[in-house]
């Protein structure tokens, strides 16, 4: 976050020409009205579509990070294994609930390739858009995300998606640890709070709205 009257820190300023949009857990089973959904997640979908369209128009890459819990939950976080072992079906591979929220896939894209994703490989949706499965909270932990971003020559990561206190926050911290310039789309993340924003701003995360990010991508912001 840049405060009025302060000179922007050159180490933190986003490089929009080498930026990627990373969406976190924007799947049907996590939408607001789903049995295991997160309040406010459906409501951010329009802003997230707006962001995705802007990245596509700018020919910048997008990576959709997803969760997949096979029945029984043996690959899940310890905090969720009891629930899944008891029969709960959440983002089960092949289920409608595991798919990305309506309108987030690019035109003509296939549905998720669950075997490929669970095997630890990115699924390419089009020349600039990908899906990656993550087995834990953070998008970099035991995933090919860092390798993919290296291949894409990315140094700035814009985060948006489901449930800021958990997976987006963990992913933001992992990105910061890897010296990526990090941005959070404040109106395209669910379960956000002013306290949460202050905390991540304290580690150098730039807090911008989807309109501000879209304007920057189109060259209207410095």
Question: Is-contact 208 47, C-beta < 8 A?
Answer: no
Angle between helices 167-177 and 194-201 (to 10 degrees): 10
Q: Is residue 187 pLDDT above 70, yes or no?
A: yes
What is the mean pLDDT of the segment spanning 1-23? 80
pLDDT (0 to 100) of residue 219: 84
pLDDT band of residue 222 (cuts 50, 70, 90) is: very low
As a whole number of Å, the CA-based R_g of the chain is 17
What is the value of pTM for the model shown? 0.95
Q: Is residue 5 pLDDT above 50, yes or no?
A: no
Question: Is-contact 210 184, C-beta < 8 A?
Answer: no
What is the mean pLDDT of the segment spanning 63-73? 95
CA quadruple 196, 200, 202, 206: dihedral sign: negative
Average pLDDT over the chain, rounded to an integer: 94
pLDDT (0 to 100) of residue 221: 52
Distance CA 162, CA 45 (A): 10
- In the chain, domain spans: 16-216
Q: Is residue 3 pLDDT above 50, yes or no?
A: no
pLDDT band of residue 7 (cuts 50, 70, 90) is: low
Q: Which two tokens stand for residue 199?
A: 């905390």
CATH number listed for the domain at residues 16-216: 3.40.50.850
Distance CA 184, CA 1 (A): 10
Q: Which two tokens stand for residue 23?
A: 């969406």
Which of 171, 114, 124 lies closest to 146 in space, CA to CA?
171
Question: Is-contact 125 106, C-beta < 8 A?
Answer: yes
The tens digit of pLDDT for each residue in 101-140 reads 999 999 999 989 999 999 999 999 999 999 999 999 999 9
Q: How far apart are the first and last CA of the chain?
A: 14
Q: Which two tokens stand for residue 188?
A: 């395209």
Q: What are the distances in angstroms from CA 189 to CA 83, 124, 156, 166, 205? A: 25, 24, 18, 11, 14
């Amino acid at each position: 976050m840049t405060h009025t009257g302060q000179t922007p820190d050159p180490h933190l300023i986003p490089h929009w020409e080498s930026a990627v949009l990373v969406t976190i857990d924007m799947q049907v089973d996590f939408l607001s009205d789903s049995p295991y959904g997160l309040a406010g997640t459906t409501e951010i979908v329009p802003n997230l579509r707006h962001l995705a369209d802007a990245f596509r128009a700018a020919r910048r890459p997008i990576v959709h990070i997803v969760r997949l819990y096979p029945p029984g939950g043996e690959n899940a976080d310890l905090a969720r294994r009891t629930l899944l072992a008891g029969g709960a079906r959440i983002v089960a591979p092949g289920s409608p609930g595991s798919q990305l929220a309506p309108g987030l896939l690019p035109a003509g894209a296939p549905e998720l390739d669950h075997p490929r994703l669970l095997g630890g490989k990115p699924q390419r949706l089009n020349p600039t858009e990908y899906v990656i499965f993550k087995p834990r909270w953070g998008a970099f932990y035991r995933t090919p995300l860092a390798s993919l971003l290296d291949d894409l020559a990315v140094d700035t990561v814009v985060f948006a998606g489901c449930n800021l206190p958990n997976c987006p926050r963990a992913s933001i911290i992992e990105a910061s640890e890897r010296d990526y310039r990090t941005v959070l789309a404040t109106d395209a993340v669910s379960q956000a709070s002013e306290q949460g924003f202050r905390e991540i701003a304290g580690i150098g995360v730039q807090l911008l709205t989807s309109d501000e990010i879209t304007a920057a991508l189109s060259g209207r912001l410095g």
